[in-house]
Amino acid sequence: MAGVHNAHFVRRNGPPMQAKLSFSRILLTSLLSFTALLLAAWFGGRMFMEGSRMPTEGTQRLAGLSRPVDVVFDARGIPRIYAETDADGLRALGWLHAGERLFQMELLRAVARGEISEIVGPAGLESDLLHRQYGFARRIENDPPQLAPEIETLLDAYVGGINARIESGRPLPPSFALMGRTPRSWTVDDVLMLAYYQTWYPTTLVQRLAEAWREVAKAGGRPAVEWLKELPAWGIPSVPAQRMTEASNTWAVAPEKSASGHALHASDPHLDYTMAPGLWYAAGIHTQQSLDVVGVTPPGLPFVAMGHNGRIAFAFTVAPVDLYEVYRFQRSTEDPGRLVGPDGDFPIVEREEAFRVRDRDHPVVRTISTTRYGIVLDQDDSGAEVLRWAGFELPVARLVANGLEINRAGNFESFRAAASDMGALSVNWSYSDRAGNIGYVQSTPIPIRQHETFYTTLEGAEPTNHWRGFVAADQRPHSLNPEQGWLANSNNHAAIDSPWPMPGFYKHLRMRRAAAWLSGGNEFTAADMHAMQMDYTSERALKWKDWLAGIAADTGRERIAAELRAWDGVMDAGSETAGLFALWWQFLPRHIFDDSELADWRIGRTLLDDWISLPPDDFDLATMPPDIAAQRALEDTLRHGIRPLGAIQTLTIAHPLAQAGLLDAWLNLSRGPIPIGGGPGSLNVTYHSFDAARVQLTARAGASMRFVMDWSDPDAFTLNLTLGQSGHPLSEHFDDQLEDFLTGTPWTVPFDRAEVARHAASSLRLE
């Protein structure tokens, strides 16, 4: 599910690419002046802000409930909602979401609607233009999703809870006062719009890799396309028997390989974790009707996204299947306002969009062009480039309806029926249950392609370049109880011999590590699952360290060569060898790809493992032989000195308003920089950005939460967030999970009500 960490923008030759402008930098350009700080202090300062914290004990009024609802909080602020009806349970969830995450929800709604410029000013215009192009809000308004009466009732209840908090008369969270913003009421359309936005957001998480693949295809032509198509073949399949999967990190272990004799299940999806609060809000919803589930919820949506219901456990991670196509259509010779498609001419439809911008007297007006095949990326006198996305063509309501059905599912069949049919959501689901089953389901709406010319622009008038619909939901990949006794996926392509073309942007390094773990034992415990999640051993380091050692030895650096050969490949923050390897890997692609036909040598960094492992025969973008490049990269590294990895790679987590230094000092809005280990090749992953001028790695993404389930004892289920439950900087739950996250200390979240009561820190009644 989406956060508001980064905007993504359309570029000319492909789908939306990752922006250079982060969301935090957008907010930095907003109105937070010293005057605003003085006003905030004048009108009550910290005492006023304390009054905006969500209560966790006593009795609170929540209009619309059919019966009182009890909420029990544990010591980490994780609530368990006990209600008579599903509607009452979701009304309480909406109230809790708004109580702890209202400003986060406000930003996300504004981003998805293309209205963030109203809050942050001109810096948000590019983001707004992109999201108006995609038209998330416009589609919900012009083509309302068809909701079953029960779903509509539940959504009404959920937004009623949000609005009850907004209209309660209690002070709003301090971010609203400091930004001079009052939130408007929420509607069912807002929830549906966010659901639609969430089907698009996962496709943006692999855009660094997608951009690299498309640029290589552009620079290398047809031979490059063929090389890219072959890359998945050297990966380790995740699901046996011709099944497909891809994910951040998730795995399930069958009872025969478990010390307890019950299934084990672990998940740690990877997202940007640099902005506070984190994406997920942990909660349990327990009603007398049909909901009895605990896990992580995305504020703004009314269900548990990942967790368990006492019968089944479920988790998902992004499937980087290519759900886009870019076409070049020629203009009609008879009418230049029309383009020529496979079935004749069709119009370019233009509309004006007005963008209200903070501190400007008049709206900014932009023209957006669309066609029946998708949005217009670029056009000239001869024609236009049009982007097709699966989400333009698939229903929105199923994400919400089937999200709730997953929460209610009691076996693999009911889970699969819901998880495989979620509109345009492209994720891979992992599954386990109390009966000892483990399974996998892919929700991706796989386009039925008639061509294999991937990662490049296609001629729009050619009929075979267009999709023939999507693979039916009941035919999408799934697996149940494989003979090997485990299932795992870590961003790898697992269906090399799929009956359908499955272009995508796959990775393989972490899958090798997961397979090594899971293939090497038969008595796994929950402790082993935690150890896997915290494993800093890098498959990249294990693969290439001996090469680097040879380069060091050849250049007379015997001590470094010996240390590299003896190194276990663990990217520990205190390891100087890990620091040496991490920097060497950053310098290496510049020497290999500088002055190549790629638009930027940094693009080569994304495909470096593949390029060195399987160098192409029919084209070459490298400008220096690998051994010479490796030697020069080592010299670059040593020039800056050998340092522990933690001195080079750090994590900083900050509230959006922390960019105002005085405000950060006043409210303590940021955490870090924190030395951190890991890398892209370790199960405990750390994705980073490299600042060549400072010779520093800045951690930008990793595990957004971790859960582990041993079905021998559901009350021992553990769940950890990155930072904390609350978005309120003065709450004790703003960052009280950070230390556990960094050290890998699991937090127990029991299921049985008696056990929940035994772990309770406070209780609240809503009536």
Q: pLDDT tens across 357-399, in order?
A: 998 999 999 999 999 999 999 999 999 999 999 999 999 999 9
626 occurs within a structural domain: no
- In three-state secondary structure terms, 428 is strand
pLDDT, residue 19, reads: 40
Rounded Cα distance, 104 and 97, in Å = 10
Instruction: State the alpha helices, DSSP H only, in 43-85.
Output: 45-50
Phi, psi dihedrals of residue 10, rounded to the nearest 5°: -75, 130
Rounded Cα distance, 99 and 95, in Å = 6
Q: Count Cβ atoms below 10 Å from residue 124 Cβ, excluding itself.
A: 27
Is the pLDDT assigned to residue 592 strictly greater than 90?
no
pLDDT, residue 597, reads: 57
Helix pair angle (539-554, 626-639), 10° resolution: 90
**Overall size of the chain counted in residues:** 767
Q: Are both 78 and 190 inside the same structural domain?
A: yes
Domain of 190, in residue numbers: 68-205
Beta strands in 529-624 (DSSP E): none
Is the pLDDT assigned to residue 96 strictly greater than 50?
yes
Rounded Cα distance, 671 and 668, in Å = 8
113 occurs within a structural domain: yes
> Rounded mean pLDDT of the chain?
87
Q: pLDDT tens across 602-631, in order?
A: 666 677 777 777 777 665 676 778 899 999
Q: Are both 133 and 276 inside the same structural domain?
A: no
- Full-model pTM: 0.90
Q: Are both 308 and 420 inside the same structural domain?
A: yes
Q: Which residues of 503-525 are buried (b: 16+ CB within 10 A; e: fewer)?
A: bbbbbbbbbbbbbebbeeeeebb
Q: In this predicted model, which residue has the larger pLDDT, 510 or 58?
A: 58
Q: pLDDT tens across 537-558, in order?
A: 999 999 999 999 999 999 999 9
Under the banding of pLDDT at 50, 70 and 90, the label for residue 5 is very low
pLDDT, residue 667, reads: 79
Residues 525-535: what's their mean pLDDT? 97
Q: Which CATH number is 113's domain given?
A: 1.10.439.10
Q: pLDDT tens across 237-296, in order?
A: 333 332 223 336 789 999 999 999 999 999 999 889 999 999 999 999 999 999 999 999
143 occurs within a structural domain: yes
Contact 219, 597 (CB under 8 A): yes
* Domains in the chain, number: 2
Last residue of a domain, one of 153, 172, 205: 205
Residues 346-354: what's their mean pLDDT? 97
Last residue of a domain, one of 139, 171, 205: 205
685 occurs within a structural domain: no
368 occurs within a structural domain: no
Rounded Cα distance, 678 and 334, in Å = 59
Q: Which CATH number is 414's domain given?
A: 3.60.20.10
Please measure the distance between the N-terminal and C-terminal CA atoms of the chain and give it in whole angstroms: 31
Rounded Cα distance, 211 and 14, in Å = 8
Under the banding of pLDDT at 50, 70 and 90, the label for residue 520 is confident
Rounded Cα distance, 132 and 126, in Å = 10
Instruction: State the alpha helices, DSSP H only, in 396-506.
Output: 397-408, 412-419
Residue 149, classified by CB atoms within 10 Å of its CB into exposed (0-12), middle (13-18) or buried (19+), is exposed
pLDDT, residue 242, reads: 28
Rounded Cα distance, 338 and 187, in Å = 37
Contact 678, 224 (CB under 8 A): no
297 occurs within a structural domain: yes
Residues 202-222: what's their mean pLDDT? 64
Q: Are both 134 and 257 inside the same structural domain?
A: no
Contact 8, 16 (CB under 8 A): yes
Q: Which residues pair with 264 in a beta bridge?
A: 253, 710
Phi, psi dihedrals of residue 362, rounded to the nearest 5°: -125, 145
Q: Are both 171 and 113 inside the same structural domain?
A: yes
398 occurs within a structural domain: no
358 occurs within a structural domain: no
Q: Are both 418 and 308 inside the same structural domain?
A: yes
